[in-house]
Structure 1
Amino acid sequence: MAGILDKERIVAPKNFNRWLIPPAALAIHLSIGQVYAFSVFNEPLTRIIGVTESAPQDWELTTLGWIFSIAIAVLGVTAAFGGRWLERVGPRKGMVIAAIAWAGGFLVSALGVWVHSIWLLYLGYGVFGGIGLGFAYISPVKTLIRWFPDRPGMATGMAIMGFGGGAMIGSPLAVNLMDFYSGPDSAGVAATFATMGVLYFILMIFGAAIVRVPHPEWQPAGYQPEQASTKKMQTSGHVHVDQALKTPQFWLVWAVLCLNVTAGIGVLGQASVMSQEMVGISAEAAAGFVGLMSIANMLGRFLWSSLSDYIGRKATYSTFFVLGIVLYAAVPSIASAGVIWLFVLSYLVILTMYGGGFATVPAYLRDLFGTAHVGAIHGRLLTAWSVAGVLGPVIINYLRDFQISQGVAPADAYSLTMYIMAGLLAVGLLCNLAIRGMQERHLMDERQLVTE
C-alpha cells in the first residue's frame, strides 16, 4: 500500500493532460469546506438527550462553540508543521492522510454523540478533523502551481474556491440527513456524522487517486520560464522554507494576509446580526444576505486569483486594501442613509476580496520564494489565518458590546468597528507596498536543490 502512495509512483507522463488535476484538488477542498457549515449542527447538538428540546443534561452552545475553534486552531498548527513533510512525501500521501483524519473525525464525533461525550467531539471533529483540514488544505497547492506555472493564480483559485463553496454542499447535506435520520428518540446527528464521514472519505480518496505530479521535463506549450521570472516580481530561483522565515518578504506577506482576513472574517462571523441591526432587515432577509456573502466569498477566490495572473499579486492586494478602505469607511454612512441595496453590494464586494486573499496568496508565495518549498512556506503562513480568526471576531464583538454598554444604539454600534477595520487595511496596504523582489542571498544553491 505504501508504494502506491509514494511520490515517485504518481509522476505523470510527458503528454498528461494537466486539466485532470484541478478536479483532484476540488474533491479535497469541497470536502473540507464543510467546516464553514458546522454551525448547522449546533442547535441539534443542544438537544441530543431531549430530542425535541434541550434537556438539563444537554450541552450548551458555549460548550459546543469550542469544537469549531479547536478545528481551526489545529488546522493552522498542522499546516505550519506538516508542510515540510508534505513536500517530501508528495500530494497523494498527504491527501490520503487527510481523508483518514477528516473522515475519522466525523466517525469519532458520531461515537461522541452516541455516548454523549463532549470530549470525543473535541477529539473527533476538533483534533482529528483539524489535522485533516490542515493536510488537505495545503496538499494540492504546490502540485497545482507546478502544473500551471503560467497561471498559478487561476490554478490555486480553482481549488481554494472549493473550500469556500464546500459549505454550500455541506450545509444542505447535513440538514437533509438529520431530517432523514431523526425520529422520536433521536435528533439524527450521530448517524449524519457517520454518513458524512463515509461520503467525504470516498470523495477525498477519489481526489488522491487521480492526482499526479508533472514529469521533470514537462512544461506547458509555449511557456518560457526565463521571461516569466523577469516580470511581476517573480524570483528566478528557490528559497528554502527555513530561510523564508528569515526574509522580510515572508513577514510582510504574513501581515498582508492577516490584516485582509481580519477585516473580512469579523464581518463574516456577525453578518446576520449586523445586517439586522445596521439596516433593520428581517431575520429571513439576513439569512439570504449571509447566503449571498458565501457565494461572493467563493467566486472571489477564483476571479481575483485569476486576475492576479495578469496584473500581478502586489497590484491585486493593493486593490483589496484601497477598495476595502473606501467600502469599510463608507458602510456606516450607507447604513445611516438606509440604502439597503448599496449596503449589501458593499459587503458582497468585501467578501470577494476576503476569499480572493486566500486564493491569491499561494501564487504570491510562488512568485517570491519559487516552487521548491512553496507548500511548506504556505503552511507556515497560514498561522496568519489563526491569528486573524481570533482578532477579527474579537474586534467586532467586543467593540459592539462596549458601544452598546455606553448607550450607543445597536444600529450605530458598528461604526467605530468599521473605521478600525479601514485603519487595519491601511496598514495592510503599507505592508504590501513594502514588498520587494527576493534578494539573491536567500536563494538555494545548486547543491541544495540536488539534495532536496
Structure 2
Amino acid sequence: MSVATATPAAAPFLSRERTIAGPDFNRWLVPPAALAIHLCIGMAYGFSVFWLPLSRAVGITQPLACPADMGFAARLVATQCDWPISLLGWMYTLFFVLLGCSAALFGGWLEHAGPRKAGLVSAACWCGGLVISALGVYLHQIWMLWLGSGVIGGIGLGLGYISPVSTLIKWFPDRRGMATGMAIMGFGGGAMIGAPLADILMRTFAGPGSVGVWQTFLAMAGIYFVFMVCGALGYRVPAEGWKPAGWRGPTVSRNRMVTPHDVHLDIAWKTPQFWLLWAVLCLNVSAGIGVLGMASPMLQEVFGGRLIGLDLGFADLSAAQKGQIAAIAAGFTGLLSLCNILGRFFWASASDRLGRKMTFAIFFLLGIVLYAAVPWSAHQGSSVLFVLIFCVILSMYGGGFATIPAYLADIFGTRMVGAIHGRLLTAWAAAGILGPVLINYLREYQIAAGIPQSAAYDQTMYILAGLLALGLLCNLLVRPVAERLYMRAVTLTPQADAASPLPIRTVQASAARPGGLVLLTWLAVGLPLAWGMWVTLQKAAVLLH
C-alpha cells in the first residue's frame, strides 16, 4: 500500500514530522534504539549497589553515625556524618513513584511530540539527575540525591520507559507482543549491566579519601547520555497507513479482543476496560515486586544453614556462616533478575499466539498454584524446587510488564497507546507501595507473634495468591470497547487527536532484509546485554553449586 503527501521542509529537527521513515527504512532498526534507552534507565533497579558505599561516604572505611539527637532536617544538610541506608532507600521509592506519575502526565505530550524529542528529554533528565546526584555526594547533601536521581531522574524514567511503546507497536502490528517485549526486557536488563559496571567504576575511583561514588555517577552519566542520545536519534515512526509486507490487519471475526479501531485517551481512561487492566497490572506487579524486594532475606531465613549443609536455623548461624549463605542468596537474586528479563521477551512473544487475555489468565492461574506451593516446598526442605518456583513467578512478573502495552493496543487501538500506557503505569506506582509494604509488615508481624523466621512467609504467600485470584477475575471481565467509543475519521482534527500519524512521501510496505547497519546497531546493545547476562550467570552458579 502507499501514502503520498509531502513533509514540510522547514519542520524542526526534533519535530515528529522529521522522524517519519522513508520507503527503504528497515523496521528492525527501531528495537535496538529502544533498547539503548531502556538498558540505561533500567539501572534504577540496580541502584542498591550504591547504598553501602554511600552509607560510609564520610567515614570511608566505617559509617560515621550522626548524633542521636540530630533532627531530620539537620540530617539532610549534615556534612560531618554518614547517611543511614533507610534515608538512601527513599531514592528507590521516588524512582518508581515519579516514573508512574510522569508517564501519566506526559504521555499525551509524547504522542504529539514524537519519540525522538521524548527520548532526548529522557536522556537529559536521567543523566542530568546523575550529575546532580554526583554533586550531592561530593557536597554530602542527600536532598540533592533525592532531587537529582529521585525526582528529575524519575521523570526521565517515565518518559524513557513509554517513549518506544507506541512506535514499536506501529512498526510491528503483526508482532505487537514481541516488539514491546524486546524493548521492555531492556529495562529489566539495565541493572544486569549497570550494577557490575558501577562496582568496577567504584573500585577504580575509590581511594583514601573517597568511596568512588560521585566519580562513578559522572562516568555513568556520560556513558548513558551517549547511548540514550543515539537511541533517541535512531527512532523513526511509520507513515500513515504503513503495513508490513503481506500483513492484512487483525481479523476481527476471529479475535474480537483485537480492534482495528482507535479510542481517544480522554475516553479510554474512563472506560471499565482501562480500570480492569489497571487492576490486572497492579495485582500482578504487587505480588511479584514484593517477592523481588525480599528474595535474598527470604531464601536465607527460610533455609538457613541447610544452604551450606548444616541443620541450623538462620538465627543460630555464625557471622561467617551467614556470609556464606549471603553469597548464595546473591546468586538467587541474580537468577531471579535474569528470569525477569527473559520472561519479558518470552511471554510477550507468546502472547502474539496465545492472545493477551489468555496470557494474563496463565499468569494468574499458574501464579496462584505456585505461590500456594512456596510454603510446601520450604517445609519439604527443597531449595531447588523453591528456586525454580520463584524463577517462574519472576518470569511472569516481567512478562506482565511487557505484555500490557500490546493488551492496551488490542483493546484501544494503536493511535494513542503510548499515552494510555502512561496513564496505566500509575498502577506500577501503586504496586510499588502495596507489594513491599504487604510482605514486609506481615513478616514483621508474624515474627513478633513468635512464628519462626523459616515460616514467617507462609501466610504472606497465601495472601499474594489471593491477590492473583482477584487479578484473574478482573482479567476475565475485560471485554471489547463499545463501538460508539471509537474515534471517527471525520473527528480526527489536530485539536482532537494530536497523536494522529503525519503522512509524508509514498511509502511501500516491504520486507527489508537485514543489512550492515541493522547488525551494527544490534551488536551495540547486544554485547553489553550479553556481558551482563554472563556476570549474572556466574553469580547464579554459586547457588547451583
- Partner AA of 1:261 in structure 2: V
The higher radius of gyration belongs to 2
Matched, 1:163 2:168: no
One of 372, 377, 381 as aligned partner of 1:329: 372
* Greater relative CO, 1 or 2 (CA 8 Å, sep 6+): 2
- Partner AA of 1:166 in structure 2: G
Q: Deviations over 1:207-249 (max 9, x none)?
A: 0111100122421011111526752611121111110111110
Question: Is residue 10–residue 213 contact of structure 1 (8 Å, CA) maintained in 2?
Answer: yes
Aligned to 1:284: 327
Q: Deviations over 1:148-196 (max 9, x none)?
A: 0000000000000000011000000100000000000100000000110
Aligned to 1:85: 109
For structure 1, which segment, 212-221 or 418-427, has the greater mean C-alpha deviation from structure 2 after superposition? 212-221
Bigger helix fraction: 1
Question: Is residue 37–residue 160 contact of structure 2 (8 Å, CA) maintained in 1?
Answer: yes
Q: For 1:79, what is the secondary structure of its paired residue?
A: helix
Alignment of 1:7-406 (within 5 A): 7-56=16-65, 57-225=81-249, 227=251, 230-231=254-255, 233-280=257-304, 281=307, 282-406=325-449
Aligned partners of 1:38, 1:228: CA distance in 2, in Å? 45
Aligned partners of 1:316, 1:449: CA distance in 2, in Å? 33
- Partner AA of 2:115 in structure 1: P
For structure 1, which segment, 201-210 or 46-55, has the greater mean C-alpha deviation from structure 2 after superposition? 46-55
Question: Is residue 232–residue 313 contact of structure 1 (8 Å, CA) maintained in 2?
Answer: no
Aligned partners of 1:397, 1:196: CA distance in 2, in Å? 32
Aligned partners of 1:337, 1:438: CA distance in 2, in Å? 47
Aligned partners of 2:491, 2:254: CA distance in 1, in Å? 23
Aligned partners of 1:63, 1:155: CA distance in 2, in Å? 38
Aligned partners of 1:188, 1:391: CA distance in 2, in Å? 34
Question: Is residue 265–residue 416 contact of structure 2 (8 Å, CA) maintained in 1?
Answer: yes
**181 and 232 in structure 1: CA distance in 2 versus 1, 3 angstrom threshold:** farther
- Partner AA of 2:281 in structure 1: L
**Normalization by structure 1: what TM-score?**
0.98
Aligned to 1:5: 14
Q: Which runs of 5+ in 2 are unaligned?
A: 1-9, 66-80, 308-324, 498-545
Q: For 1:48, what is the secondary structure of its paired residue?
A: coil
Aligned partners of 1:270, 1:430: CA distance in 2, in Å? 27
**366 and 226 in structure 1: CA distance in 2 versus 1, 3 angstrom threshold:** closer
Question: Is residue 229–residue 236 contact of structure 1 (8 Å, CA) maintained in 2?
Answer: no
Q: For 1:417, what is the secondary structure of its paired residue?
A: helix
Q: For 1:246, what is the secondary structure of its paired residue?
A: coil
Aligned partners of 2:284, 2:472: CA distance in 1, in Å? 9
For structure 1, which segment, 134-143 or 436-445, has the greater mean C-alpha deviation from structure 2 after superposition? 436-445
Q: Deviations over 1:340-370 (max 9, x none)?
A: 1111000000000000000000000000000
Aligned partners of 1:253, 1:232: CA distance in 2, in Å? 17
Q: Deviations over 1:368-425 (max 9, x none)?
A: 0001110000000000000100100111100000001111000111000000000110
Question: Is residue 34–residue 231 contact of structure 2 (8 Å, CA) maintained in 1?
Answer: yes
Question: Is residue 14–residue 214 contact of structure 1 (8 Å, CA) maintained in 2?
Answer: no
Aligned partners of 1:276, 1:300: CA distance in 2, in Å? 25
- Partner AA of 1:51 in structure 2: I
Aligned to 1:443: 486
Aligned partners of 1:200, 1:311: CA distance in 2, in Å? 36
CA apart distance, 1:442: 1.3
Question: Is residue 279–residue 336 contact of structure 1 (8 Å, CA) maintained in 2?
Answer: no
Aligned partners of 2:339, 2:161: CA distance in 1, in Å? 20
CA apart distance, 1:448: 2.8
**430 and 175 in structure 1: CA distance in 2 versus 1, 3 angstrom threshold:** same
Aligned partners of 2:485, 2:203: CA distance in 1, in Å? 56
- Partner AA of 2:414 in structure 1: T
Question: Is residue 362–residue 378 contact of structure 1 (8 Å, CA) maintained in 2?
Answer: yes
Aligned partners of 1:92, 1:228: CA distance in 2, in Å? 33
Aligned to 2:5: none
Question: Is residue 232–residue 312 contact of structure 1 (8 Å, CA) maintained in 2?
Answer: no
Question: Is residue 301–residue 356 contact of structure 1 (8 Å, CA) maintained in 2?
Answer: yes
Aligned partners of 1:218, 1:52: CA distance in 2, in Å? 60
Aligned to 1:418: 461
Aligned partners of 1:192, 1:344: CA distance in 2, in Å? 33
CA-based RMSD: 1.2
Aligned partners of 1:126, 1:229: CA distance in 2, in Å? 47
For structure 1, which segment, 17-26 or 231-240, has the greater mean C-alpha deviation from structure 2 after superposition? 231-240
Aligned to 2:3: none
